[in-house]
Structures are given as C-alpha cells and as structure tokens.
Structure 1
C-alpha cells in the first residue's frame, strides 16, 4: 500500500493535533478531512489498526453518514524546532482549517440543519417546496440543463467532524460509545421500563378508547373534557418514555446528530413534567389550605356574574333601555324564558354551592398528584359546566337570528324577481304572482319589526359566549405552555450552546507556538440555535389563536349568526417530544 500524492490545497484538521507526527487518517470525499494521527512504525501497521477499528459496532452505525470507511491519507511530520507541521508525501503543503473534536460524553456536534428541533411537517410546509413542485421541476424540458455543483463542505463533512473523536476512541477501545454521563440513570431504570411497557400500552389503549366514546352526535368525550385529554397526553408521554429509553441506553443505530436530538427531547420532556408536578404541588397545597375562603369567593362571583347580573340585564332589556323600542310581546317572551332558564340553573347551582369547598379540595389533590396541567384542565371543565346555561341561551338566540337572516335573504330575492335554484346552486330570474309578492311583503314587515328585538338578545348572549371563549382560550394556551415548555433546551442554549447547533461559521484565531511565534488559522465554530426556533410551538400557537380569534372573523361570524365555537384542543396540542427527529407520539 502506498500513499497517493495529492494536490489538495486545503484540509480540515482537528484542533489540538497540529503538534503530532504520524500517519494521518480520515476521508478524501467530499472534502479532505483528517480524523486523527496514528503513531505507528509503518504504513501497513497504521492501515491494519484503522481496519480493525472500522469493525467496531459503534463505528458501523456511523459509516453510512460519513460516506464510507476512513483511510490513510498521508504521513505528517511535526518540526519542533520550527514549530511547523508538514505533510511529507505531498508536494504542495496544504492550508489547515481547524475544527473541534468534542469528548464522547458531551453530546456536542456540528449541524447545518437549524430545524433539527422543530417538527418536520411544520417546517416543510413553510420553508420547503412541495414534492409535486420538485417533481415537475425535474421534468421541465424548457429549463436549461446545468451541471450540478455540489459543495465539498456539506453535512457529510460535518458528520465526519462529529465522528472523528469516536473513531479515535474505538481505535484504543472497540467498546467505546458516545454516551453522556447521565446515561447511568437510563441503565438503572431500563429494566423497570421493560416491565412497565406492556401495562402502559394497555392503559393507553383503554384511555384512548374511553376518550372516543361519543357524547353528542358530533363530539366525543375527549373533545368535551379537558381532563380526559390531559390524561391522554400524560399516558402518551409515558409510552414515549418506555420506547425511547432502550434506544438511548443502547446508543441505537444513529449518528450523534440524531442521538443528541432525541436525548435532548427526552430530558426536555422529563424536565417539563417535573416542573409541572412541582408547580402543581405548590398550587394544590394553596388550594387545600385555603379551600373555605376560596369557596366563599367562588360562590360570590358565580352568583353575581352568572346569575344576578344576567337576570338584571335581561330585565333591563325588557324595559326599553335608552329609548330602544323593542317589540313588547317578543321581548317579554325572550326575557321571561331566559330568566326562567337562569333561575332554574340557579337552583341547580344552589345544590352544588355547599360543596364548593370540597370541590376545591379535590382540585387541590388533583393538582398535587397530577401536576399543574391537570388542575388547569379541571378548571376548564368546571368553567364549561358552570356556563352551560349561557351556552344554551346563545344557541337558541343564534339559531333564531340565523334563520331570520336566511329569511331576509330569501325575501330580498323575492323583491328583485330572483329565486335560488337548488339544483344548479345559483340565483335565477323568476316571475312571481301577485299573491306571492303580497305574502312576501307581509313576511318582510313582520321580520323588519321583530328583527331588532332578536338582534339585541342575540348580541347579549353572543358577547357573553365570546368572553367565555377568550377565558378558555387563555387557559388552553397556559396548558400548552405547561405541557411543552422547552426548559431543558433553553438551559442548554445558555449553558452549552454546542448541544443545540444552529449552523457553523469560520472564525480566524491566533495560536502561539513554543517560541512565541503566532500562527493564524480558520476555526470552524458552532452558531447557537435562535431562541425563536426553541419557542416555535408558542409562535405557531399564537398564529393559530390569532387566526381563530381574529376580531374581524369573529365580528363577521356574529353578524351572520354563525356558531361561535372554541378552537379544537387537538390544534393546541404538539408532539410531546418537542423535536421532529424523535418518534411521533
């Protein structure tokens, strides 16, 4: 075996190996990258040592990402007198660009992909062209064909940087692995998770089946009950734990990039749950110790805003407020019917009022055992239950208001000599008889005089419904904050930005030699991931909330009498792992 002479003018060299002689090994493609230096007597011995290292299990998992096995590149010689490194077998001495080789347990790595900790569907939908567009682009014969230019400094090169320290380690010890120091925890609980895997999967199927039980023709139990969905979130996270721990313990068949992302996501989920339980214990203790005074405050607020103020407003509307002349009979019908409904609800609420302290106590126990998220979910369900009478009034007033708008639209077509064609789904011209026009005029007169009364009562309950929806939306956002806050990733971005790479850049650095001589080299440094990417969940949730609760859209829905519903809870729910590289949960 002989070392080929090379005309390469630039090579990537590990930082800290510029003062060592021996046979340098690494990769020639896509760029010349040196992984380390072997201090052997002959080139054949160096090749034999390298070939033996390439059979280690830890290296076989990284071979594909590095595009092949490493090879002996050249013999380098360090001149201590001149403090200079020279490639003996190369005619042209190359320029060295230095890169970092991190300890195996640090989980530091290089990466170009800044979307490593964002969900793939989200990023692909916003930043990448669709597959159909890419396919049509390749088949476009009108585009001039140009030879593809591929950069030698690409992700494969970064994978070689990331694998160089592991390759050096397996040369000395074939059982070396790229495991963090905290992996001992995973070793200790791996057997326990294996025993719990089957019970957790069984419990998950039971909970998911329970959540799919239909409550209404269009809704299931999980759609209406926030507590059921929060329990489903927790059991899904438990399934994620028992499936992810064996991979993290055994190192898996993946490179450092994927492993570090999954490791960060795993412990981010653990930290989020621990903080949820911590805040939940504090909040639960507060509720348990102050159940009686909180019950008095709650009862006062419920009776004031949900009973007395609502009845007062209905009676006020029935008395022609501010000179607003409503239809007397219809207003009395509306007022008496809704007041009777509210008083009926007040009787039901009176049966629950003596037990409010007990409910708050149970809520405190749920918060202590299940965390802050379970308490928030329970409060959301209690708010929804305590405002059922407002929802019922809104539903009936909205139904009548919407029907009157439809009738007004039909009468408008009548006066214009038009008729809606159901078969063709369009408005056509039509000639009406005198009796039809007279009957339409009578209906329009009745509609015109009754519409203001319907509108006033509809506006009252629509505004009340809108305020309740805003309260529930705020708690939904708070619940998403508790469930998916990137606490561990945020800590890493401050403590060790190398664990969350957001790209690379070249930084010129000066190094002092043994005799005070200064040498300047380019060093490849890591760029920290932007905080906006760590908080992508909440940016997207803010967009979803702003789109659903857009004032113009809500005002248009109110004017048209369309149903004003809350946002689907599944639109507020993200992957429990917090990363796209982890398995979907």
Structure 2
C-alpha cells in the first residue's frame, strides 16, 4: 500500500492562499526520482475527487480560528501593552471622528447642489449645458457617487468573508480598489491643478497661439487651396467657390466669437485646475474633452453639412447607375430586382447623372478635407477618453501588493517531491530524495511505498493581474469596428467619435440623514482598524 504525504503552508489572510489555474507549470516540478507506478495508475484512472472542494477546504482551514484569535488576543495581553493599546485606540477614534466630520460636511454640500440641480433640471439652459458638457457631467456623477459611497463599501458587514482566505482576499481587493483609485486620481488631479494654476498665463498664451495657427494655416489656407486647383485636380470653379466661401464665412464668424470670449480663457484654465484639484484628473480631462468639442463646433458643423451633401450625391449617382442597368433596390427583401424603366425615366436620369458625376470630385475633396480635420479632433478626444478609462480601470491596490507580496495572486499548483522511498521485489534497496533509481532497473518491478512532497503555487504575472480590468476599456475596439468606421467615412455615413466605455457604473444617489451618514463613516473607519489589527496578528 502506497502512502502520499503532502506538506503545505497554512493559508493566511494577507499572506498567501491556493488557487487552481490553467497555466501549465510542469517545468517547475522538481523530481528527484522517477514517477512511482501508482502515480501513473492514478493518471490513467478516472478522477473522482473534486479538486475545487479540496482547495476550498485548504483555504478555509485555520482562517476562522486565526481571525477569532486575533480579535480576542488583545484581551489576553492587555496588561503588558495597555498603554500602546490605549494610544492606538485613541488615535483611531480621533481619525474616525475627523474623517466622518469632513465627509459629512462634503455630504451636506453635495446634497445641497443636488437639490438645486433637481429644481433647474427641466429648464432649457440646463438641458443645453448637459448636452454640451456631457462627459464632464458623467465623470462628475461618478466621482460624487464614489465620494458618497466610500463608507458603505469600506464597512464590514459580517464574518462570512473571513471564513475562507481566498474569499477574504477578493473581498479586500474589491473593498479597497475604489478608494485607491480615488486617491490616485485626486493626486494626479492636484498635480495637474498646481501646474495649471501656477502657469495659467503661459498656458493661455499657448492655447491662443495654437488655435490661431490652426485657424489661419490649416482651415483658411486649406479652403483657399481647395477653391483653386488642389494637387492639379480640375474642379468645378463655381461649386468650389460656393463651398469655399461658406466655409470661410463660418470660420470667420466662429473665430470672431472666440476672440471675444478669449478674455475668459485664463479663467477657463483656472476652472480646469480647480476641477482637477477637487474631483481628480478624470474630471479635468472630461472638461477638456468638452471644451475641445465646443471650440471646434464650426469644423463639426461644416463637416456635417458636407457629409449630407456628399452622401446625397453618392446615393443619387448610385440610384441613377442602377437605372441604366435596369435594376431597382427592393427595401423589403434587401436586394436588387429587375425593373423596366420608361424612356422618359432614362432621359431624366441621363440629364441628372452627368452633372452629378462631374460635380462629385469637387464635393469629395471638400468632404475629405473637413473629414480629416474632424477625425483628427475626434482622435484627440478618443485618446483622452481612453486615458480617463484607464485611470478608472487600473487596479492600483493590486499592482501595489503584486510588487510587495506576489503570494497573494496564486495561479495553479505544483508539487516538489522531496522524498521517494521504493520497495524493490528483488532487493530491499531504499532510495532517498538525493538519489535516483538506476536506469537499468525495470520500473515495473518497483512499487512505491512512501512519497513526500510540498505543495507550491504559481503566481500571476503583472499582465495577468492588470489585463482583465482593461478588457472592458478596449472591448469596443476591434477590426470590425475599425472597418465599419472606415466604410462609414468613405460613404459619408459615420465618423469616429469618442467612445463612452471603460467607465465605472453609476451608483444611485444616496440620501440618508446626516447623523446616520456620520455614524456610517465613523464605523467604516473603525472597521478598517479591525482589519489592520487582524493582519498584524496574523
């Protein structure tokens, strides 16, 4: 009869635990002897053990006992550490009171502004501002809900999550991920806010010069260039003159408006700095996206107008070409059917087809030029939006603990065989861990008696830890979506816009009495003290 003894480290919260993984790690197994016959027989047999239940039992063992002993160890050792315990309790109580009071004041301010917004939410000005600053409103709502819900997420609601080390680890990472993201976002926002506030005038000069150069050397020069013979193309002079004149008038009107509003540009930069300091980098970046979209409204309007003209012209040419082929589009069956057109229809189609086809190059060049401008602006907004999504999705607390203690991220199991004792049929020879069986010995005559091994874990790489959180950010970016956008641009049906992906879910607005909210914040901080105390004792 064979005996298999496995030694393993007891899973401890904050230390390590075991988890099954899909990664093959046969190269990490250190065999000091040949595999016993009973192991080969076991591999050939149908497995009857539920390995998930075994790992759950290992992770559950000792967890509740360690947690209970950590809670009551202070009572048994109160005499030698009385002063230290009293000082620690007093410090945590003061910290809990300060954080609860500050959070309650912020809670009162948010509730006041929320009530004011409810009263003016039906006005046309509010609806217009909400559409213009949609990204800012979305990120502000997410940030305000995170600031309101931090005591609810940090509060410990029972000992059930402490019964298993694996569940306790996942609950702790989920509980601390929101405030870690909030702290990092606020630190980055304060860094940006300090730089913008101290260099507001220099930033104002740079933005003014950049917008002036973009208007003069890109838009105006490009329109004048298209009104002539761009790249040697012979365009329709009358149509090019009309389109170019309309574009130049729209550019001039919008430039005059922004020149009048340029006196408030330095105040806008300071508002972005204040937003970054109070609500984090994501809120400031969202305000920048909305400001860029508002400042380039004339480009969007001209591109939209030319898109309509280009798409109608393409559709008309396509329909007239089907007329000459004797085909007609069937919208019900989504296919082309044969159709007998009359002579009058062919004559009218010929008269319309020739000028539309000859005017198409002129419209196409204007459409291509403004589409390139609009696509460049959209790509800038998309890049900033992806940055916002990455800031929200990055698991900062997991990255920190990955560098400090990788054992908290297990992935798969492997065994280190340290002792393999064999009983041979023809001799009583004993093989230990530092010796190997002779190659001339027939393994069929050997039966294993004792096998001793240590249970070890593989660990996740940094990419494996971070990538599942980024999967939602890049979920809408695929080859099919890129191909669909390119086809839409060519046919005048679609242009790329900033995606609304990768943002945390919006939580419902919380409205509870002020005293109850203060008590909730106070208990949440004290629960964190209990978690820290348990980890120190474990």
TM-score exceeds 0.5: yes
Counterpart of 2:410 in structure 1 is: 501
Q: Distance in 1 between matches of 2:363 and 2:239?
A: 8
- Sort the Cα spacing of 1:343 and 1:251 in 2 relative to 1 into closer, same or farther, 3 A: same
Q: Which has the higher contact order (CA 8 A, sep 6+)?
A: 2
Counterpart of 2:458 in structure 1 is: 527
Q: Distance in 2 between matches of 1:238 and 1:320?
A: 58
Residue 152 (structure 1) aligned with residue 49 (structure 2):
yes
Q: Of the candidates 431, 435, 451, which is equivalent to residue 344 of structure 2?
A: 435
- Sort the Cα spacing of 1:492 and 1:423 in 2 relative to 1 into closer, same or farther, 3 A: closer
| Superposition deviation, residue 394 in structure 1 | 0.7
| Superposition deviation, residue 575 in structure 1 | 5.8
Counterpart of 1:269 in structure 2 is: 178
Q: Distance in 1 between matches of 2:318 and 2:324?
A: 10
Q: Distance in 2 between matches of 1:237 and 1:547?
A: 34
Q: Bigger shift: 379-388 or 556-565?
A: 556-565
Q: Of the candidates 559, 564, 568, which is equivalent to residue 499 of structure 2?
A: 568
Q: Distance in 2 between matches of 1:297 and 1:451?
A: 39
Higher helix fraction (1 or 2): 2
Contact 2:393–2:502 (Cα < 8 Å) also in 1 = no
Within 5 Å, which residues of 2 pair with 1:334-413? Answer: 334-413=243-322
| Superposition deviation, residue 426 in structure 1 | 3.1
Within 5 Å, which residues of 2 pair with 1:535-546? Answer: 535-536=466-467, 537-542=469-474, 544-546=476-478
Contact 2:204–2:265 (Cα < 8 Å) also in 1 = yes
| Superposition deviation, residue 149 in structure 1 | 5.3
- Sort the Cα spacing of 1:176 and 1:237 in 2 relative to 1 into closer, same or farther, 3 A: farther
Counterpart of 2:527 in structure 1 is: none
Counterpart of 1:467 in structure 2 is: 376
Higher strand fraction (1 or 2): 1
Counterpart of 2:517 in structure 1 is: none
Q: Of the candidates 273, 290, 297, which is equivalent to residue 206 of structure 2?
A: 297
Q: Bigger shift: 541-550 or 426-435?
A: 541-550
Alignment gaps of 5+ in structure 2: 24-44, 75-87, 420-431, 435-450, 508-538
Residue 112 (structure 1) aligned with residue 38 (structure 2):
no
User: Deviations for 1:72-123, whole angstroms, at most 9, x for unmatched residues?
Assistant: xxxxxxxxxxxxxxxxxxxxxx4310111144x52532222689xxxxxxxx
Contact 1:509–1:523 (Cα < 8 Å) also in 2 = yes
- Sort the Cα spacing of 1:151 and 1:212 in 2 relative to 1 into closer, same or farther, 3 A: farther
Q: Bigger shift: 372-381 or 388-397?
A: 372-381
| Superposition deviation, residue 347 in structure 1 | 1.0
Q: Of the candidates 228, 235, 240, which is equivalent to residue 331 of structure 1?
A: 240
User: Deviations for 1:312-350, whole angstroms, at most 9, x for unmatched residues?
Assistant: 110111012233111111111100111101101001111
Q: Distance in 1 between matches of 2:63 and 2:488?
A: 61
User: Deviations for 1:15-71, whole angstroms, at most 9, x for unmatched residues?
Assistant: xxxxxxxxxxxxxxxxxxxxxxxxxxxxxxxxxxxxxxxxxxxxxxxxxxxxxxxxx
Q: Of the candidates 203, 208, 215, which is equivalent to residue 306 of structure 1?
A: 215
TM-score, normalised with respect to structure 1: 0.66
| Superposition deviation, residue 229 in structure 1 | 1.2
Q: Distance in 2 between matches of 1:100 and 1:461?
A: 65
Q: Distance in 2 between matches of 1:542 and 1:565?
A: 15
Over the residues paired in the alignment, what is the CA RMSD in angstroms? 4.1
Contact 2:188–2:281 (Cα < 8 Å) also in 1 = yes
Matched residue SS, 2:497: coil
Counterpart of 1:457 in structure 2 is: 366
- Sort the Cα spacing of 1:252 and 1:539 in 2 relative to 1 into closer, same or farther, 3 A: closer
Give the count of matched residue pairs: 441
Counterpart of 1:67 in structure 2 is: none
Q: Distance in 2 between matches of 1:442 and 1:225?
A: 47
| Superposition deviation, residue 548 in structure 1 | 7.3
TM-score, normalised with respect to structure 2: 0.71
Q: Distance in 1 between matches of 2:56 and 2:492?
A: 58
Matched residue SS, 2:476: helix
Counterpart of 1:132 in structure 2 is: none
Counterpart of 2:353 in structure 1 is: 444
